[in-house]
Amino acid sequence: MSIVISSAVVLADVADGLSLDHPVIGWHNVVTASSIVSTHVDVNYPASNLANPATHLQWRSSDDGGQFLTITTNEVDPIDYLAVAGHNFSSGEIVTSVEGFIGGVWTRIVDEVMLPDDGPVLYRFEEQSLSEIRLVMSSPAGVFPRAAVLYVGKLLVVERKVYAGHMAITDGIKVSVANGRSESGNFLGRIVLGEWRETTIPLSLISPDWFRTYMRPFLTDGRDLPFFFAWRPQTYPREVGFGWLMDDPAPTPDTSSHLLAFDLKVSGIAK
């Protein structure tokens, strides 16, 4: 579960005096079944599966050599992230990076990285319009890459930071178990039937104009779809989740300031 931030974004953050620790939500997505192609593919697991947010569907490569997942965009709307869930990039020792097609040349926009785990990963780069973008993969260990979900789009950067009252989704472990017990009451072991993550993201001091412009489209169009979330991207880059809203937020204005406060209750995949 990681966020990988390009050096260009870090430099821009320092230059503009803005913080990379504001929460980000990756819900806007331009990937479709017809806009994504892979260099190599197992015919039973096509690249079009990556456009479906259902994590039980997968793309699987048929080769362990260097390869790409390439997405064609509309070239107009700027994008600033690529995110993947349900992959084997860490356990397979697969090195990844992100390239954009700029001025007729493929140009690296996120440097090569070996991920620390197989949890959701979000690659963040400088906002720009690109005709094509691709995830680059190389497998020194000879493992075939695979992934379940891939998003490309424009991040929703939350207006205020989250300071307190939030448990990182990586720590919100929930399990469903069957416990074995003998007739005499002895413990015989247990079987884990399922595992997932849950958390609550408390948002406060949100201005009504910002909410109507940026948050309302997410709550309206994205409420039925999973999204990527990083609550403090720069300080805690390994606390990224891929989940969905468990109920509808209820924004409530403060009686004195009229600023809004509400919670996002999220359930997500274990890895």
Give me the pLDDT at residue 167, please: 72
> pLDDT tens digits for 116-127?
999 999 999 999
List the helix and strand counts (H, then E) for the chain: 3, 19
Neighbours of 258 (CB within 10 A): 9
Q: Could you tell me whether strands 67-72 and 105-113 are parallel, antiparallel, or unpaired per DSSP bridges?
A: unpaired
Give me the pLDDT at residue 12, please: 66
Give me the pLDDT at residue 19, please: 79
Say which amino acid occupies 146: R
C-alpha neighbours within 13 Å on the C-beta side of residue 185: 0
**Structure confidence at residue 26 as a pLDDT band (50, 70, 90):** very high
**Structure confidence at residue 172 as a pLDDT band (50, 70, 90):** low
C-alpha span between 34 and 87 (Å, rounded): 21
> pLDDT tens digits for 83-105?
999 999 999 999 999 999 999 99
Assign domain 2-157 to its CATH architecture.
Sandwich (2.60)
The radius of gyration of the chain's CA atoms, rounded to the nearest angstrom, is 20
C-alpha span between 51 and 103 (Å, rounded): 27
Q: Which residues, other chains included, contact 131 with Cβ-Cβ below 8 Å and sequence gap of 6+?
A: 72, 73, 75, 101
Tokens of 100: 């954009």
Give me the pLDDT at residue 59, please: 97
**Structure confidence at residue 177 as a pLDDT band (50, 70, 90):** low
**Which range is least confidently modeled, 11-15, 51-55, 178-182, 193-197?**
11-15
Residue-range domain boundaries for the chain: 2-157, 173-269
Q: What is the pLDDT averaged over residues 137-153?
A: 94
